[in-house]
Amino acid sequence: MKKKILIIDDDIDLVEVLRLTLEKNGYEVFDAQDGTRGMGEILKIRPDLVILDVMMATWDEGFEVAHDIRANPEIAGIPIVMLTAVSQQMGIQFEKDSDTLPVDEFIEKPVMPNRLVEIIKKCLTK
């Protein structure tokens, strides 16, 4: 059975590029354009991994979603890959941290497709 990946990002063009890359590598891909829809999709489809943007409706919506995922015992174990350009756009450096930034990987945009697939495979085998 294919692993399910949910992309939560408001950049439709990026979502489609990621979808093509991930589907080519054997994943089933779902998407949501904001955190509220994303949380609904997580609860509905129970993805094996979430790719999450930071800046959507607000500059920190992705952080809120990551915390919401980790706070819900039903979905807390789903790996989260945060894919964002927030460091470039705001000049802020982030590192994954269980309290502040509860994600499994933090990747700066743009990311090479092969690198993203490598990170996803790593997160799914933990």
Domain boundaries, the chain: 4-124
Task: Tell me how far apart the alpha carbons of residues 38 and 125 are, in angstroms, rounded to a whole number.
Answer: 23
Q: What are 67-117's pLDDT values in tens digits?
A: 999 999 999 999 999 987 755 555 555 555 555 678 999 888 888 889 999
pLDDT of residue 49: 98
Q: What are 35-68's pLDDT values in tens digits?
A: 999 999 999 999 999 999 988 887 789 989 999 9
- Asked if 71 contacts 92 with a C-beta cutoff of 8 angstroms, the reply is no
How far does Cα 60 stand from its chain's mean position?
14
68: Cβ contacts below 8 Å, ≥ 6 apart: 35, 39
CATH code that applies to domain 4-124: 3.40.50.2300
